[in-house]
Amino acid sequence: MYRFSRLTFVAAKEKEWLLTNGNGGFAAGTLADCNTRRYHGLLVAALPNGERRLFWSKAETHLSYQGRSYHLVTNEYLGGVIHPEGYRFLLTAEVDTDVVRLLYNCDGIILEKSIIMVPGVNATIIRYYLVEAEAAVELVVDPLVNQRDYHSITQSDQLPLAVTPQADGCRIRLPGAAEDLILSMPGAAFNLAGEWYRNFYYQLEDERGLEPWEHHFRPGQFRAKLQPGTAVELVGVVNPVQEGQSPVQYDFTTVYRQRRARTRSFQSHLTAYWGSKGITKLAVETLDPTLWSDLLGLAAAGQAFAVSSLGVPGFIAGYPWFTQWGRDTMLALPGLSLATGNYTLAREILLAYAKHIQAGLLPNRFTDAGGTAYNTVDAALWFLVALYQYWQETEDRLLVDQVWPGVYEIISSYLQGTAYNIHTVPNGLLHAGEPGVQLTWMDAKIGDWVVTPRIGYPVEINALWYNALQIGSRFAELVGRLDLSFRWSEAGELVRQTFTREFWDPDRNCLYDLITTDGTKDTALRPNQIFAVSLPFLLISREKASAVVEQVRRYLYTPGGLRSLAPGEPQYHPRYAGNPRERDAAYHQGTSWAWLTGPFITAYLRVNQSTQAALTAKILLDPLRANLTQAGIGQISEIFEPEYPYTSQGCPAQAWSVAELLRAYIQEILPLLVTGD
């Protein structure tokens, strides 16, 4: 639980909360109750066709008592107008992955507003509980709704939303839509309205160079009398359009108990699992009084990303705008599944993705429209790494047998050649890329401009390729294919020899980032070389590995992650800001990435094996924990500014950021500091 009080308006609207329902739907907002993104809303529903749509934006809440009125909401409008200023009444805010609880103090009247999502259902419940008052208080709630794709903006009041009154509330329907929104508040009176509230201003959209204003629809108004010690609940449910069928009813207490029971069970599991590794609450808190609670928080945050897109379990890459990505899922799996002992989820993900391998490629992402994109060279290689790490933890021979056809297809396709000009060359290296396509994790593209094309032989791709061959060789031996085991091992040795010879930059004492198709060597200092040291099978000598780690530490490490390009390089951008083109131009040209801190810590401890090194690694990793209360509450942001003060940017909740921070503590640092391993 993260608690806040005495927040200024600026501070309150910078802190974003997130609730999820496990199927890709979510609710998000700020502690100021002032939406600053188009993605903020009380109910963004994940629909069966893969789309996500905003149905319920806000609940404009105010209290009436003895002739006085207290508006608890805050809105910012075009032109800089802030009205009303409900943030001034905010007494305390409490946020975790289950519930958001806001306490308001209005001249002695204390109202508790709690927000929760129903697991597995596109439904949000707001509970209003009158904690303290001398007499009954009238609660007035004006819901603001919409029905649009969550990436878009409604800037017209001509959206033909139809409102039908029904028991305890109303049904809001967009003609032709497959789903509608039902709002109900048992015990309250509902008065039909049907009007548009205009020109809400979204500060963060403005900063991102996007349209920053929107209209929302008010279907009506709920009014209820609250006696001290009593509560009412406003429920919003997105249902398939079914005439004459009564909606399922949900209540806050039942859902709250359900979620809390699941959280307690998960925490008990973590305590037992980490304890089996020698990582106990007492030992961790002796080392660092707040680390244990942060570890539990990170593990809980990770659960928000677990979804199933089109029947394929995996991880949402980030909230609020990313979908499920193959690369991100494989990179997040060790931290969100293995480091938490959730082997069942890891198994389900690996098995499901193996069934979607095509021509040796793993899906890059599942789109909002229900499609699948395969434009990635590394997702399949990260699949093999994740599979190997899972095998090391479980020795699950059955899964290896089940996914072996996929393992064989990946390595065979990469050896023989597959889409996007992915193929091996006689010296063993893996080539990838063609004009206009982004295949590595540095995938920013603006129109036809691929910002960091990296066509040829990227350093991390060939480090992954070497590891894939070593992993494939071991699995081939396991399934009885000794011929393949020998052949792939020999291919890996050729890669190692060529890599060591061709990728070493003697002038900078580190690795080239890329060798282009024509043999040109890119000397830009980037973090991708760290994978040659952090992946399971070391590709270079320990002496060179130490030099790589030192160069990365000196020039790329920041408290917000590793810079994507070193200062002083011609394309370096010291800030991540501006319109989409300006931001994408900086995305992988200096901007710091939190997730890269994980492999950096792994590499650092690989070449510095001591308790003192583990203490240093913890010092280097700890600053990211501060982000748990800075932007996305209880989450870790996607990216950070590469220069002081290293402000968080991008998605306020990113799966691989959370995953790699958690993994680095559980699998790398704490075993050296609290278990003596």
Task: Decide which of 213, 241, 269 is a domain's last residue.
Answer: 241
Cα distance between residue 356 and residue 465, in whole Å: 20
Residue 93 bridge partners (DSSP):
4, 102
Q: What is the pLDDT of residue 368?
A: 64
Is residue 182 within 8 Å of 145, Cβ to Cβ?
no
Residue 30 bridge partners (DSSP):
16
Residue 299 has pLDDT above 80, yes or no: yes
Instruction: Categorize the per-residue pLDDT at 227 as very low, low, confident or very high, splitting at 50, 70 and 90.
Output: very high
Average of pLDDT values for 605-632? 97
252 lies in some domain: no
Cα distance between residue 16 and residue 33, in whole Å: 10
Is residue 15 within 8 Å of 104, Cβ to Cβ?
no
pLDDT 10s digits, 467-497: 999 999 999 999 999 999 999 999 999 999 9
Tokens 């290689």: give the residue.
381
Instruction: Categorize the per-residue pLDDT at 383 as very low, low, confident or very high, splitting at 50, 70 and 90.
Output: very high
572 lies in some domain: yes
Q: What is the pLDDT of residue 449?
A: 86
Residue 245 has pLDDT above 70, yes or no: no
Q: CATH code at 198? A: 2.70.98.40
Q: What is the pLDDT of residue 272?
A: 98
For the chain, the straight-line distance linking the first and the last C-alpha, in angstroms and rounded, comes to: 31
Residue 581, CA distances (Å) to 42, 207, 401, 436 in order: 30, 13, 46, 16
Q: What is the pLDDT of residue 448?
A: 83
Residue 554 has pLDDT above 70, yes or no: yes
> Which among 109, 118, 113, 71 has a CA at the least distance from the CA of 94?
113
Residues contacting 605, CB < 8 A, separation 6+: 613, 614, 617, 668, 669, 672
Q: Are residues 211 and 263 in the same domain?
A: no
Q: How many residues does the chain have?
A: 677
Q: Are residues 294 and 212 in the same domain?
A: no
Question: In angstroms, how far apart are the furthest CA atoms of the chain?
Answer: 86
What sign has the CA pseudo-torsion 184, 186, 192, 198?
negative
Q: Are residues 507 and 642 in the same domain?
A: yes
Q: Are residues 330 and 453 in the same domain?
A: yes
Please count the other Cβ atoms lying within 10 Å of the Cβ belonging to residue 64.
Answer: 14
Sheet of 592-593: strand order equals 557-558, 561-563, 592-593, 639-640, 648-649
Determine how β-strand 81-85 pairs with β-strand 123-132: unpaired
Task: Decide which of 207, 241, 275 is a domain's last residue.
Answer: 241
Q: What is the pLDDT of residue 231?
A: 98
Q: Are residues 413 and 562 in the same domain?
A: yes
246 lies in some domain: no
Q: Are residues 264 and 235 in the same domain?
A: no
389 lies in some domain: yes
Residues contacting 592, CB < 8 A, separation 6+: 558, 560, 561, 562, 563, 564, 639, 640, 641, 642, 646
Q: Which amino acid is it at 585?
A: A
Cα distance between residue 504 and residue 462, in whole Å: 13
Q: Are residues 345 and 413 in the same domain?
A: yes
Cα distance between residue 102 and residue 90, in whole Å: 7
Q: pLDDT above 90 covers what percent of the chain?
A: 92
pLDDT 10s digits, 211-220: 999 999 999 9
Q: Are residues 232 and 265 in the same domain?
A: no
Residue 662 Cα to chain centre, angstroms: 13
- Residue 148: both structure tokens together: 């649009």
Let me know how many helices (H) and strands (E) the chain has, helices first.
18, 39
Helix axes 343-354, 326-333, angle to 10 degrees: 150
DSSP 566: -
Cis peptide before 320 (omega within 30 of 0): yes
Residue 213, CA distances (Å) to 320, 321, 355, 360, 497 in order: 18, 18, 43, 44, 57
Residue 67 has pLDDT above 60, yes or no: yes
Lowest average pLDDT, out of 66-70, 434-438, 651-655, goes to 434-438
Q: Are residues 197 and 289 in the same domain?
A: no
248 lies in some domain: no
Helix axes 397-416, 482-502, angle to 10 degrees: 50
DSSP 426: T
Is residue 583 within 8 Å of 208, Cβ to Cβ?
yes
Residue 244 has pLDDT above 70, yes or no: no
> Which among 108, 112, 119 has a CA at the least distance from the CA of 21?
119
Is residue 526 within 8 Å of 505, Cβ to Cβ?
no
Question: Which of 670 and 675 is assigned the larger pLDDT?
Answer: 670
Is residue 73 within 8 Å of 113, Cβ to Cβ?
no
pLDDT 10s digits, 582-594: 999 999 999 999 9
Instruction: Categorize the per-residue pLDDT at 262 as very low, low, confident or very high, splitting at 50, 70 and 90.
Output: very high
Q: CATH code at 265? A: 1.50.10.10
Instruction: Categorize the per-residue pLDDT at 372 as very low, low, confident or very high, splitting at 50, 70 and 90.
Output: confident
pLDDT 10s digits, 503-552: 999 999 999 999 999 999 999 999 999 999 999 999 999 999 999 999 99
Task: Decide which of 241, 266, 299 is a domain's last residue.
Answer: 241
Q: Which amino acid is it at 454?
A: R
Helix axes 397-416, 379-394, angle to 10 degrees: 150
Q: Are residues 176 and 318 in the same domain?
A: no
Determine how β-strand 372-373 pairs with β-strand 365-366: antiparallel
Q: Are residues 137 and 177 in the same domain?
A: yes
Regarding pTM above 0.75, the answer is yes
Q: What is the pLDDT of residue 309?
A: 76
For 489-507, give the DSSP string.
Answer: HHHHHHHHHHHHHHSEETT
Q: What is the pLDDT of residue 450?
A: 86
Q: Are residues 262 and 231 in the same domain?
A: no
Cα distance between residue 91 and residue 464, in whole Å: 51
HSE, side-chain direction, 13 A CA sphere, residue 453:
14
Instruction: Categorize the per-residue pLDDT at 156 as very low, low, confident or very high, splitting at 50, 70 and 90.
Output: confident
Is residue 213 within 8 Å of 199, Cβ to Cβ?
yes
585 lies in some domain: yes
251 lies in some domain: no
Cα distance between residue 114 and residue 126, in whole Å: 6
For 335-385, give the DSSP string.
Answer: IIIITTT-HHHHHHHHHHHHTT-BTTB--SEE-TTS-EE---SSHHHHHHH
Domain boundaries, position 155: 2-241
Domain count, the chain: 2
Q: In 3-state terms, what secondary structure has residue 634?
A: coil
